[in-house]
């Protein structure tokens, strides 16, 4: 199958959406499918308001449409709700071409957190954007229920995976961990206000807090919490080493729909402390994580969990399974036309 994927999130951004698309594209190619990725780096762009390091593509629907037409796809997927996918959506509707979409993050809560706009206003846009899609691909049961409650019914499951060759317990401790007071409490992800990182940094559980990642809030948080260790962005074996040699992984976000870093940490044998919100409640069990409204209590409880059980559970998430679920959720043109004719 020839699959065109349009996304507003792509390199050099480092986030769950980008990593998911990279991994699924690789697996799709291994399964014999051809993928054309249409991303912001192929067009002129402007800095995103309140997030200038993210570039927003400026492209007319006809321009995006020409790229799609030139590829001659069998299916079109719009991965995000930004301007590039808006242009692709407009072109698809104008030409009566079916497409699927995905809901990767709680966009209404995210925008409300960064701008102060009421989340209800943003939900109107979400309903409008996803309404014409043949299917909306989502990662968890809780997200499916949330979208249905907001009037988006055509939801399909699309899970996430882990690169098990990279993320496993068998890694040496990173040099940055040498001499740190245990337990090491690790966070991995964007260092930004919507990640609620300050809730973790403000806890007082004994040990050392380690932050892996970068973002607009880093300077402020480094100055405000000088006892925490900020290592910047890590990837590959260096990231795996941080996961595997931490004593607990702390996930303070309340707005993520899944949390790819959660299953990576688990695959490395590290238990997770989190709030009982969308993402953690869909992934964690009593054997692999502790979820409390008091994050400090969650950290203490997670430290008592069996690392072997965490690693075993983390190994159940694969990118091959994720890619096959993605394929099952697509709306190939021929299949849609046959269904419509019937």
Give per-residue pLDDT as tens, 191-242. 998 899 999 999 999 999 999 999 999 999 999 999 999 999 999 999 999 9
Maximum CA extent, the chain: 68
**51 lies in some domain:** yes
| pLDDT reported for residue 176 | 92
Mean pLDDT of 311-338: 88
Q: Are residues 252 and 126 in the same domain?
A: no
**170 lies in some domain:** no
- What SS3 class is residue 32? coil
| pLDDT reported for residue 53 | 65
Mean pLDDT of 47-68: 81
Residue 65 has pLDDT above 90, yes or no: yes
* Count of domains observed in the chain: 2
State the pLDDT confidence band at 43, using cuts at 50, 70 and 90. very high
- Report the DSSP beta bridge partners of residue 6: 38, 78
- Pick the closest to residue 131 from 175, 81, 188 (CA basis): 81
Residue 99 has pLDDT above 60, yes or no: yes
**169 lies in some domain:** no
Q: Could you give the percent of the chain with pLDDT greater than 70?
A: 93
Q: Are residues 18 and 154 in the same domain?
A: yes
Domain with 42 in it: 2-161+320-341
**167 lies in some domain:** no
**60 lies in some domain:** yes
Instruction: Return mean pLDDT, the chain.
Output: 92
Q: Are residues 200 and 324 in the same domain?
A: no
Q: Are residues 259 and 329 in the same domain?
A: no
Residue 136 has pLDDT above 70, yes or no: yes
**168 lies in some domain:** no
**72 lies in some domain:** yes
State the pLDDT confidence band at 117, using cuts at 50, 70 and 90. confident
| pLDDT reported for residue 15 | 84
Q: H helices within the chain, ranges in order?
A: 16-30, 61-71, 83-94, 107-115, 119-130, 141-149, 197-201, 218-224, 236-245, 260-267, 280-283, 295-302, 307-314, 319-329, 333-341
Phi/psi-derived region of residue 6, left when phi > 0, alpha when psi is between -120 and 50, beta in every other case? beta
As a whole number of angstroms, the distance between CA 294 and CA 199 comes to: 10
User: Which residues does 173 contact at the CB level (< 8 Å), separation at least 6?
Assistant: 241, 245
- Pick the closest to residue 252 from 244, 261, 243 (CA basis): 261
Residue 300 has pLDDT above 90, yes or no: yes
Q: Are residues 35 and 140 in the same domain?
A: yes
Q: Are residues 157 and 10 in the same domain?
A: yes
| pLDDT reported for residue 202 | 97
As a whole number of angstroms, the distance between CA 46 and CA 27 comes to: 31
| pLDDT reported for residue 218 | 96
For residue 93, the tally of other CB atoms under 10 A from its CB is 13
What predicted TM-score, i.e. pTM, was given to this entire model?
0.89
Q: Where is pLDDT greater, at 257 or 93?
A: 93
């Amino acid at each position: 199958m020839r699959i065109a994927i349009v996304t507003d999130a792509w390199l050099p951004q480092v986030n769950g959406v980008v990593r998911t698309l990279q991994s699924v594209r690789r697996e799709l190619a291994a399964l014999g499918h051809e993928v054309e990725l249409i991303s912001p780096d192929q067009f002129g762009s402007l800095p995103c308001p309140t997030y200038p390091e993210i570039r927003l593509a400026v492209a007319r629907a006809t321009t995006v449409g020409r790229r799609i037409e030139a590829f001659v796809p069998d299916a079109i997927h719009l991965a995000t709700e930004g301007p590039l996918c808006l242009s692709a959506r407009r072109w698809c509707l104008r030409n009566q071409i079916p497409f699927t979409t995905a809901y990767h993050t709680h966009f209404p809560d995210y925008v409300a957190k960064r701008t102060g706009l009421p989340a209800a206003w943003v939900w109107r846009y979400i309903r409008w954007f996803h309404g014409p899609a043949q299917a909306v691909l989502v990662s968890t049961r809780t997200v499916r229920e949330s979208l249905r409650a907001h009037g988006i019914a055509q939801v399909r499951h699309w899970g996430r995976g882990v690169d098990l060759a990279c993320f496993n317990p068998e890694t040496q401790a990173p040099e940055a961990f040498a001499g740190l007071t245990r337990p090491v409490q690790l966070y991995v992800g964007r260092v930004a206000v919507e990640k609620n990182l300050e809730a973790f940094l403000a806890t007082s559980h004994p040990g050392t807090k380690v932050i892996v990642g970068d973002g607009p809030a880093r300077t402020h948080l480094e100055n405000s919490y000088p006892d925490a260790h900020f290592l910047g962005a890590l990837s590959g074996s260096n990231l795996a080493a941080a996961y595997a040699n931490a004593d607990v992984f702390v996930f303070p976000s309340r707005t993520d729909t899944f949390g790819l870093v959660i299953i990576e940490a688990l695959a490395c044998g590290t238990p997770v402390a989190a709030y009982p919100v969308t993402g953690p409640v869909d992934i964690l069990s009593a054997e692999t994580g502790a979820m409390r409204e008091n994050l400090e209590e969650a950290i203490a409880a997670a430290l008592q969990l069996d690392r072997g059980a965490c690693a075993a559970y983390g190994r159940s998430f694969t990118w091959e399974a994720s890619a096959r679920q993605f394929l099952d959720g697509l709306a190939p043109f021929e299949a849609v036309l046959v269904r419509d004719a019937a």
